[in-house]
Amino acid sequence: MGDSAYSFSLTTFSRTGKLLQIEYALNAVSNGRTSLGIRARNGVVIVTDKKVQSTLIDTTATSKIESITPEAGMVFSGVGPDYRVLVKRARKKSQAYYRMYRDKQPVLQLVKDVAGVMQEFTQSGGVRPFGVSLLVAGYDDEGPSLYQVDPSGAYFGWKATAIGKNYVNGKAFLEKRFNEEMELEDAVHTALLTLREGFEGEMTCDNIEVAVVDDTRVFRSLTAAEIQDYLDEAK
């Protein structure tokens, strides 16, 4: 009996020790639009491709980058509706933390909560894994941080990383460009250069999103005008 016999069961390991539904979820992530993040010395930047299938779609009505707390936010690659569920749950857990401790939730605690939700959906009957990987960026008492959360519920801290369709080339490009002493401004330029490497067509302020968090501890998405300024500087 091969692994294919276990491909429809989420809660049963195959003979080779794999949960195939999680691997299929990772395939959905790999087919998603590219997203990447860089942790600089004084902040974090996350960038994503938000190209749409039709010119008739109003791109201002959709957003791939969402803030969760005032000092942290996240972006996804994969299945959009699954992401909305995770954003809602993450915000509820952050609010519950604030009501209990009257303090903002640390970024790592936020990551652990989201990863816990994703892990629950890998060992329960009647559900499927979330078809997204997340990049979580934030700035708290520990300084700037960047984490990746996968459909299995595993999470990793990164200095710089990429997820989605072109993640292999993106990581290779970041390995060459990343510098430990990089400032946030340089990180934004590097992130845009990395995204452009595998971008299909022309990259404009309308088909990408950029968000930053610096030592002011305010997570914010850049406006279209700010993004265009960075793109003009890169030409």
Query: Are the C-beta atoms of 107 and 138 separated by less than 8 Å?
Result: yes
* pTM, to two decimals: 0.93
At residue 224 the predicted structure's pLDDT band, cuts being 50, 70 and 90, is very high
What per-residue confidence (pLDDT) applies to 148?
A: 98
What per-residue confidence (pLDDT) applies to 5?
A: 57
What per-residue confidence (pLDDT) applies to 164?
A: 96
At residue 102 the predicted structure's pLDDT band, cuts being 50, 70 and 90, is very high
At residue 54 the predicted structure's pLDDT band, cuts being 50, 70 and 90, is confident
Strand partners, 74: 66, 136
At residue 1 the predicted structure's pLDDT band, cuts being 50, 70 and 90, is very low
What per-residue confidence (pLDDT) applies to 52?
A: 79
Arithmetic mean of pLDDT over the chain: 92
What per-residue confidence (pLDDT) applies to 58?
A: 81
More confident residue, 37 or 126: 37
pLDDT at 4 over 70: no
- Tell me which of 19-33, 73-87, 100-114, 135-149 is least confident: 19-33
Question: What does the pLDDT average to over 189-208?
Answer: 92
Question: What CA dihedral angle connects 46, 56, 78 and 197, to 10 degrees?
Answer: -50
